[in-house]
A and B are shown apart, each in its own frame.
Chain A
Amino acid sequence: MDAFPYYMQVFTNGVVLSCFYVLVALGLNLIMGIMHIINFAQGTVYMLSAMLLYILGVEVGLNYFLAGALSIGATALLGILMERFFFRRLLGQFLPSLVMSLGLLLAIEGAVWLRFGIISKAIPSVFRGTVNVLGALVSYERLVVIGGGLLLIGGLFLFIRHTKAGKAIRAVEQDREAAILQGIEITGICRLVFIVSFALSAAAAFLVSPMLVIDPNIGHTPLLKGLVIIVLGGMGSVTGTLVGGFIIGFIESITGTLFDPTIASIVSFVILMGILLVRPSGLLPYRM
């Protein structure tokens, strides 16, 4: 492979990985920022959404976009239920919420194993074929991930910065008591955050599922990467998550290409540790 197309390939691989990880990490970070809890079941939400997509799109035979819309809607509804019945009482309580989310992770994964068994599933490619992008061969699927991912990230930024609900979320994240005094209903904000967070993970599943395989374990990697990203970027910081996500995505692409995926993971953690030594709060803490 000639030099420029090779670097272009590495670049596009990095953008794809970054968009995927950022979408899941944003969901994780929103909940972290508002409720001060870490939802370890976030990766499982992504997996569940992918499974639902498979059921609707392949087993039932619906159009992929319709299946995606239903899957995202159902996952958002799941967010409402989870917030109401599992996490509302644990607002601000780190350890109990951690245990709760771990329990949910195990319960949901176990249920999915029982329903789907051990064989991986695959969603047939919706966008077939590849295109030459400045010498790099990129599948249409990956272009959709890039486009869709950037659109969602941009949409979230606009929502957070320019809508009443987004400003309310920021207010609660900055100072909960002051937000209450301003008349902002915390319960409603928490519910909204769960809806947005779960919808983001479901959107990630909608975008990447045709590219990868689907099985009950697929939530582990995005969860782990998401945690690394929110720590790297700064807990509670959407901007930080975006920056951290792209750093991690590109590190994985570059070191995964130069060396192998195992070294890529090690390098991610080494860089994370290095940055935390210099900036313990992360790159851009508490800046929504």
Chain B
Amino acid sequence: MRQVLFFTAIVIFCFGVFFPASPVQAASPTKELILGINTPLSGAAAPTGLGLLRALELSSEEINAAGGIKVGKDSYLIKLITYDNKYDAKEAVAAVNKLIYNDKVKYIVTTGGTCVIAVNPLITENKIFHIGYTYGGKKATHPGAPYTFRSILEPFQGHSALLPWLVKKYGIKTIAVTSTDDETGLIQAEDIEQVAKKLGLTITDKVFAPRGTPDFTPMLTKLIAKKPQAIDFGSWAGSDGPLTCKQAKELGYKGLFLYSYTQSIPTFQKVAGDYMDGVFFYNIFASDPTPLATKVAKRYEEKYKQKFDPLVWRNSDVLFVIKKAIETAGTLDPTAVKNTMPKVSIDGVFGRTRIGGKSYYGIDAQFLFPIPLSQYDGKQKKLIELYRGIMPADF
């Protein structure tokens, strides 16, 4: 036995002398930046979640094809890890826990107001750079959640920029509000109430219901009974949004239909069909807003072999903004990157995109870009852009 061990040691020694290991390879120049995606991929909010996922897939592919994110001499390719949060706060927290502790990610995107509000303490405690694809108002965006940046315009910005135009054009004096009975919906209702009061509008009624309600007719009967000149459909999204439209029209409502929560137009067309005629949409461009947006739409159709969903534009700039912030900060450290964000602006799919919102939220953590108002023309079967608003420079 001793002899066997001795000779084995000799053989190993000889290999080490006559066949030395190759020189240590230089570290691969390409590293990874892992982005965690915490978004609904099932349930009524699934189209919203899928829109985000596809936007990030397309933009990460484009950035990676151009060499990734450059920090010093290193290049970082973006890798996506996705969890389905079912638009549920508990699921969202579980997903973020997995992302932080199992997957060790430092950059996360979360969809859903209730979800973002629920994960914010975890995000702040662990200093994770966080994008919230959500409304949520001041509950989601505030100085106590400094690592969270909202990627989409809120109804407050939409209403502030667009409702005055609608009031002037159509002479609206009364408006009803319906929304989901969660944080997003309640905050959205508060936002429109705030703007409506400034404009001297009377809120005739407010009704809330859970996402995925199968039949909205009882709720809409109540809303329509008071004959409002306009109804804002709050945060009804996915298939809920077009179903409310269809059922309200079946009940004979003839006033203005305002969808201030960005809808998936293909889903809306499938579910509402002809009832979509005359409906107003915030945040949806009738035609490609910029050549860059056209490029994104074309890539989407090539990759997914489906008609482009304009919902995807909402998050097409997120990774480019993050890239610019990282490259400006010169580090991947989330704290340094988040401190750099207010200085970042890019030419995005909607036009000039910057980070602001301090005058309203107390912190510059809101993506700001031009806001369109479009209306669906049933005869031409397409959206017509009526107006484009922007938030003031000091917002």
Point out residues on A near B: beta carbons under 8 Å.
Answer: 1, 6, 9-10, 13, 16-17, 113, 118-122, 124-125, 128, 130, 137, 139, 141-142, 211-213, 215-218, 221, 252-254, 256-258, 260-262, 264
Contact B270 A260 (CB under 8 A): no
Residues of A contacting B274 in the complex (Cβ-Cβ under 8 angstroms): 128
Residues of A contacting B239 in the complex (Cβ-Cβ under 8 angstroms): 120, 122, 213, 215
Contact B221 A9 (CB under 8 A): yes
What is the CB-to-nearest-CB distance from A12 to chain B, in angstroms, rounded to a whole number? 9
Contact A118 B267 (CB under 8 A): no
Given contacts A16-B215, A118-B46, 10 further A-B contacts (CB under 8 A): A119-B47, A120-B271, A128-B274, A212-B243, A256-B218, A257-B221, A258-B222, A260-B209, A261-B216, A264-B218
Once A13-B218, A261-B209, A264-B218 are accepted as A-B contacts, the answer to whether A125 and B273 lie under 8 Å apart by CB is: yes
Contact A260 B208 (CB under 8 A): yes
Contact A253 B218 (CB under 8 A): yes
14 intermolecular pairs with C-beta atoms under 8 Å apart: A13-B215, A120-B47, A120-B267, A121-B270, A122-B239, A122-B273, A130-B252, A212-B215, A213-B243, A213-B271, A217-B212, A261-B209, A262-B181, A262-B208
For A258, give the chain B residue with the smallest CB separation: B222
The complex places the Cα of A17 from the Cα of B215 at a distance, in Å, of 8
For B209, give the chain A residue with the smallest CB separation: A261
The 5 closest A-B pairs by CB, nearest first: A256-B218, A120-B239, A118-B46, A137-B252, A1-B225
The complex places the Cα of A6 from the Cα of B223 at a distance, in Å, of 11
Contact A260 B252 (CB under 8 A): no
With beta carbons under 8 angstroms apart, the residue of A13, A118, A253 that contacts B42 is A118
Contact A119 B215 (CB under 8 A): no
B287: interface (CB < 8 Å): no
Q: For chain B residues 185-220, which have a beta carbon within 8 Å of chain A?
A: 207-210, 212-219
The complex places the Cα of A253 from the Cα of B242 at a distance, in Å, of 21
Once A1-B224, A262-B208 are accepted as A-B contacts, the answer to whether A122 and B270 lie under 8 Å apart by CB is: yes
The complex places the Cα of A32 from the Cα of B332 at a distance, in Å, of 61
Q: Mark B18-56, 1 if CB is under 8 A from A, else 0.
A: 000000000000000000000001111011011000000
Once A17-B215, A120-B239 are accepted as A-B contacts, the answer to whether A257 and B43 lie under 8 Å apart by CB is: no
Contact B251 A9 (CB under 8 A): yes
B136: interface (CB < 8 Å): no
What is the CB-to-nearest-CB distance from A181 to chain B, in angstroms, rounded to a whole number? 45
The complex places the Cα of A258 from the Cα of B205 at a distance, in Å, of 11
Residues of B contacting A119 in the complex (Cβ-Cβ under 8 angstroms): 46-47, 50, 267
B302: interface (CB < 8 Å): no
Residues of B contacting A215 in the complex (Cβ-Cβ under 8 angstroms): 44, 239
The complex places the Cα of A221 from the Cα of B215 at a distance, in Å, of 11
The complex places the Cα of A141 from the Cα of B273 at a distance, in Å, of 15
With beta carbons under 8 angstroms apart, the residue of B42, B218, B267 that contacts A10 is B218
The complex places the Cα of A123 from the Cα of B210 at a distance, in Å, of 23
Contact B218 A6 (CB under 8 A): no
Contact B210 A261 (CB under 8 A): yes
Contact B44 A252 (CB under 8 A): no
The complex places the Cα of A122 from the Cα of B275 at a distance, in Å, of 13
The complex places the Cα of A253 from the Cα of B214 at a distance, in Å, of 13
Residues of A contacting B218 in the complex (Cβ-Cβ under 8 angstroms): 10, 13, 252-254, 256-257, 261, 264
Residues of B contacting A261 in the complex (Cβ-Cβ under 8 angstroms): 209-210, 213, 216, 218-219
Residues of B contacting A13 in the complex (Cβ-Cβ under 8 angstroms): 215, 217-218, 221
Residues of A contacting B212 in the complex (Cβ-Cβ under 8 angstroms): 217
What is the CB-to-nearest-CB distance from B306 to chain A, in angstroms, rounded to a whole number? 10
B238: interface (CB < 8 Å): yes
Which of A212, A221, A261: most chain B CB closer than 10 A? A261
For B40, give the chain A residue with the smallest CB separation: A118
The complex places the Cα of A287 from the Cα of B369 at a distance, in Å, of 65
B250: interface (CB < 8 Å): yes
Once A120-B239, A213-B243, A218-B214 are accepted as A-B contacts, the answer to whether A260 and B273 lie under 8 Å apart by CB is: no
Residues of B contacting A137 in the complex (Cβ-Cβ under 8 angstroms): 250-252
B70: interface (CB < 8 Å): no
Residues of A contacting B46 in the complex (Cβ-Cβ under 8 angstroms): 118-120
The complex places the Cα of A218 from the Cα of B50 at a distance, in Å, of 20
What is the CB-to-nearest-CB distance from A274 to chain B, in angstroms, rounded to a whole number? 22
Residues of A contacting B243 in the complex (Cβ-Cβ under 8 angstroms): 212-213
Residues of B contacting A262 in the complex (Cβ-Cβ under 8 angstroms): 181, 208-210
The complex places the Cα of A215 from the Cα of B243 at a distance, in Å, of 13
Residues of B contacting A6 in the complex (Cβ-Cβ under 8 angstroms): 221, 225
For B250, give the chain A residue with the smallest CB separation: A139
What is the CB-to-nearest-CB distance from B255 to chain A, in angstroms, rounded to a whole number? 13
B227: interface (CB < 8 Å): yes
Contact B181 A260 (CB under 8 A): yes
Residues of B contacting A142 in the complex (Cβ-Cβ under 8 angstroms): 250
Residues of B contacting A218 in the complex (Cβ-Cβ under 8 angstroms): 214
What is the CB-to-nearest-CB distance from B51 to chain A, in angstroms, rounded to a whole number? 11
What is the CB-to-nearest-CB distance from B376 to chain A, in angstroms, rounded to a whole number? 16
For B275, give the chain A residue with the smallest CB separation: A125
Once A120-B267, A260-B207, A260-B208 are accepted as A-B contacts, the answer to whether A10 and B44 lie under 8 Å apart by CB is: no
The complex places the Cα of A129 from the Cα of B252 at a distance, in Å, of 10
Residues of B contacting A16 in the complex (Cβ-Cβ under 8 angstroms): 215, 217
What is the CB-to-nearest-CB distance from B251 to chain A, in angstroms, rounded to a whole number? 6
Contact B250 A257 (CB under 8 A): no
The complex places the Cα of A205 from the Cα of B44 at a distance, in Å, of 19
Contact A217 B43 (CB under 8 A): yes
Residues of B contacting A9 in the complex (Cβ-Cβ under 8 angstroms): 221, 251
Which of B43, B219, B243: most chain A CB closer than 10 A? B219
Residues of A contacting B47 in the complex (Cβ-Cβ under 8 angstroms): 118-120
The complex places the Cα of A13 from the Cα of B44 at a distance, in Å, of 23
Contact B207 A10 (CB under 8 A): no
With beta carbons under 8 angstroms apart, the residue of B213, B214, B215, B227 that contacts A1 is B227
Residues of B contacting A260 in the complex (Cβ-Cβ under 8 angstroms): 181, 207-209, 219
For A124, give the chain B residue with the smallest CB separation: B273
The complex places the Cα of A214 from the Cα of B107 at a distance, in Å, of 35
What is the CB-to-nearest-CB distance from A128 to chain B, in angstroms, rounded to a whole number? 8
The complex places the Cα of A217 from the Cα of B211 at a distance, in Å, of 12
What is the CB-to-nearest-CB distance from B177 to chain A, in angstroms, rounded to a whole number? 12
